[in-house]
Structure 1
C-alpha cells in the first residue's frame, strides 16, 4: 500500500527578490509565504527547514506513541521539538542535523524501557529514515514507574 501526499510551491521573481507561497494537500499550509527573507531574515512566513522540523517532530512522536501502544501502554503524553541545523557549505547549504528534544509522561514504564522505545522510534520513523543527517535524541524529562 502506498500513501501519497503532496504540497505545492510557487516562486515569483528570482533569488533574494523572489517571493513564494506553499500549500499542502490537507490545507494545514495554504498559500503560506516563504522566500529568502523568511528563511534567512526572520520575516513572517515559513521555510523548508521549519517544515522539515515539523514533519520530523510529528513523525517521531507518532512512531513513539505507536511503539509504546504496541508494548501495551495506553496512557501518557509525549511532546517533541525537532530543530533542524542548516549550515553554509561551499556555494550552497546543507542540513547537517535534526535534534529532537522529548518530554514524556508514561505511567508504568521504566526509564530503561522508555529509552529503548524512544531510540527505536528515532531510528525507524519514516522522516528519520528520509533524512541523511545526524539525528540526535535528548529525553528532556520523563515520568514513569
Structure 2
C-alpha cells in the first residue's frame, strides 16, 4: 500500500515575535496557531514536538494493535503517551509510555508485543532519536 498525506505550515515575521499556522489535508488541524511562545514557553497553541509526539503515539499504538490482531488478540484498551525531549536545538529523545489492558495474555507477552511494535512502527523507524519505551500492563 502506498499513499501520501499532506500538511502545511505558514509563518509571518521573525522567530521570536512572528506567528504561524499549521494545517492538515484532513482538516484535523486547520490554521492551528504556533509560534515561539507555543514552542519554547507555555502559551496556548501547538508546536512541532507535540505534533511529532502525537504522530508517534498514534502510529505506535496502531502498530501494537496490529501485531496482536495478527495473533487474534483484541486489546481492551491501549493508551500511549510520547514524551518528546527538545534540548540544545535538537530533539534528543522520545519516550513512549504504553499502558495496555488485554484479556487472554500476561504481562510478559504484552511486553513482547510492545517491544516489537517499537521496532517496526513506521514512525519509530523514521526517527533517529533515542526512542525508549515504558510498558504498563493492567490485569
Tell me if TM exceeds 0.5.
yes
Is contact 2:65–2:75 with CA below 8 Å preserved after alignment? no
Measured in 1, the distance between the counterparts of 2:47 and 2:61 equals 21
Task: State how far apart, in whole Å, the 2-side matches of 1:40 and 1:113 are.
Answer: 39
Task: Map residues 29-68 of structure 1 onto 2, 5 A cutoff.
Answer: 29-68=29-68
Match of 1:141 in 2: 137
Q: Secondary structure at the match of 1:14?
A: coil
1:3 matched to 2:6: no
Is 1:107 the counterpart of 2:118? The answer is no
CA distance, structure 1, for counterparts of residue 100 and residue 47 of structure 2 = 28
1:15 Cα deviation after fit: 1.5
Cα deviation, residue 106, structure 1: 0.4
- Partner SS for 1:2: coil
1:116 and 2:79 equivalent?
A: no
The alignment status of 1:129 with 2:115, answered yes or no, reads: no
SS at match of 1:132: coil
Q: Which runs of 4+ in 1 moved over 3 A?
A: none
Distance 1:25 1:130 in 2: 21
In structure 2, distance between residues paired with 1:141 and 1:65: 14
Distance 1:75 1:116, change over 3 A: closer
Decide whether the 8 Å contact of 2:107 with 2:137 is kept in 1.
no
- What is the total number of aligned residue pairs between the two structures? 139
What does the per-residue CA deviation read over 1:92-140, in whole Å, with 9 as the maximum and x for residues that have no partner?
x111111011111000012221111100000110110011011111113
Other-structure match for 2:26: 26
Which ranges in structure 1 are unaligned for 5 or more consecutive residues? none
2:113 alignment partner, SS class: helix
Q: Which secondary structure does the structure 1 equivalent of 2:16 belong to?
A: helix
Scaled by the length of structure 2, the TM-score of the pair is 0.96
Q: Shift of residue 71 of structure 1?
A: 1.2
TM-score by length of 1: 0.92
